[in-house]
Amino acid sequence: MRTYAGHSSAAESNALYRRNLAKGQTGLSVAFDLPTQTGYDPDHVLSRGEVGKVGVPIPHLGAMRRLFEDIPLSEMNTSMTINATAMWLLAMYQVAAEEQGVDASALAGTTQNDIIKEYLSRGTYVFPPEASLRLTTDMIAYTVANIPKWNPLNICSYHLQEAGATPVQELAFAMSTAIAVLDAVKDSGQVPDDQFEQVVGRISFFVNAGVRFVEEMCKMRAFGQLWEEITRDRYGVTDPKMRRFRYGVQVNSLGLTEAQPENNVQRIVLEMLGVTLSKNARARAVQLPAWNEALGLPRPWDQQWSLRLQQVLAYESDLLEYGDIFDGSHVVETKVAELVEGAKAEMDRVQAMGGAVAAVVSGYMKQELVTSHAERRARIESGEMKVVGLNSFIETEPSPLTADLDAAIMVADPKAEANAITDVQQWRSQRDQAAVDAALEVVQQQAKTDENLMAATLDAVRAGATVGEWSAALREVFGEYRAPTGVAGVSGVAEAGSELTAVREKVRQTGEELGGRLRFLVGKPGLDGHSNGAEQVAVRARDAGFEVIYQGIRLTPEQIVAAAVAEDVHVVGLSILSGSHMELVPDVQKGLADAGLTNVPIIVGGIIPDSDGRKLEAAGIAAVFTPKDFGMTDIMSRVVDEIRKANDLPV
């Protein structure tokens, strides 16, 4: 039983972990901030506004020591949600444990380390797919030999569903990722054939459970069936224990609503039942989001509520006392067979392209997810898919939970970034720089060979290097990467209804009045890689008749301003879900003003607390949209109105 936690600083996160363990939590699930996840130190220009927001900053060994101070790592099962820089974080965890007197062989836990889904959903990739797969392979080979109780890869289909995946796509893309990694390990020759079963046995999965209970429960049974077949038939694994489908779950956040957020509690419970009721497909670890996740950062009390939901199910109900209550159900068997058949057909398509990496590079998998997400949004907008409190049953009594919205969420420590910058600069000043330089030189030289990079990375940790320095050394060898956006060629609506037709006419007419087609720049400033919303805005804007400029994720405010100038745009839309809006939006606003684009309105969307939204609008931001604003066509109409206002045209 876990809660996904970490914020502000190593010391504050350490105190939070110790409180959660005292409340009955049985494992740790560490959330790292975006700079740590994407290989930047807190004082890097791209880290501005992002330090300590969605997780804890851990740029160096000193911070890792503080994170686990007074927590015996010999007794912990620690899950770390880290991907591109997973090797670095595992190395720091191992060294911190050794300093506690714990041998690496005694460590238990998981590094997520699923880089494929980063190109498709969360966007915290750093290196090109082939180089990233090499780092994953090296880690797997190292842990099998040296940290045998560690799960070096946690294939994470969770974020695929958050990006719009259907159950069939979640099954197929996750299994395709597993095949790509296992084939790479086998081809590397680093693991002897007689130990390959151990590699398969240490692979775990992290899945999503949506609110469609029967379908999601059947999906989990389908996962187990597919994994059994793949491990037995493709890889020849004979030990049944090594073929077990081992998975943890966080239930769906995509379906949580800002409107009537109290309804999220029953959604979370239903989703939890989908991965616990069927004993033969039961999750080994469950972590639940908080009821107010669509509003902002949950408070410790909100996290406690999610933990208590699990404890009531486990200790008060009789759920865990019986065998699988769905065995023999014709309905369940038929649905599982349908999902398996669909997943196998999709897996065959991916394999025919050359496998998961090829399907990432070509943009196929990303475009499929964007399409599925667009179809889901269209069903919500039309009312075909009902979401209680959002597009149906919207009448409500005032909620005591949200009477004071500013108090209903946790506010990140405003001094976290400055403190982290001071800390990393002090760390650098107190180390042996020559030893750091020498260690990083070895990392670079070995990256140019087939040598396993884990030993060199451990030496760099011990020398005192930082996550930004390690990543920069590898960037020089591997290069950086910009993944396909998946937006090209996707239509968000099958046919335009009267509302979209009216908006198209407004776009066309306004363009004629301004002397050309309206151009809409969709920008993702900072390190927030959750691009689902930006992609859907881009798709619907194009459906509405805009010329859309969308360059993908991880841009500085200066790059966004430069694109606005170069493309002579009529509106700039910024999407930020990481909490960095109060730093990055004003930076873009100032840049546009300095460039003379005073008639280009700025639209902002994301997880933005109400008080922050009011401040942004008071500062001149044309409009702020949050998850409650689900009508994309209405948003497009508002965008045209703001363009007209900014250019002194009648509205």
Catalytic annotation, residues: 4, 158-159, 524, 528, 530
Q: Are 144 and 195 in contact (CB under 8 A)?
A: yes
Q: Are 251 and 265 in contact (CB under 8 A)?
A: no
d(CA 636, CA 625) in angstroms, rounded, equals 11
Instruction: Kindly state the tokens that stand for 538.
Output: 């881009």
* CB-neighbour burial class of residue 8 (10 A; exposed 0-12, middle 13-18, buried 19+): buried
Would you say the C-alpha torsion 369, 373, 378, 379 has a positive or negative sign?
positive
Q: Look up residue 418 and give its amino acid.
A: A
Q: Are 114 and 155 in contact (CB under 8 A)?
A: yes
d(CA 61, CA 39) in angstroms, rounded, equals 14
Q: Are 203 and 178 in contact (CB under 8 A)?
A: yes
d(CA 390, CA 532) in angstroms, rounded, equals 19
- The DSSP letter of residue 545 is T
Q: DSSP for 21-74, please give it.
A: HHTT--SEEEEBPHHHHHT--TTSGGGTTTTTTSSB---SHHHHHHHTTT--TT
**Phi, psi of 291, deg, nearest 5:** -60, -25
Give residue for tokens 């209970």. Answer: 213
Q: DSSP for 84-133, please give it.
A: TTHHHHHHHHHHHHHHTT--GGG-EEEE----HHIIIII----S-HHHHH
Q: Are 9 and 413 in contact (CB under 8 A)?
A: yes
H-run or E-run covering 284: none
d(CA 246, CA 201) in angstroms, rounded, equals 9
**Phi, psi of 82, deg, nearest 5:** -150, 140
Q: CB neighbours of 5 closer than 8 A, spacing ≥ 6? A: 13, 16, 17, 20, 29, 30, 31, 303
d(CA 247, CA 221) in angstroms, rounded, equals 12
Torsion of CA 632, 371, 607, 268, to 10 degrees: 110
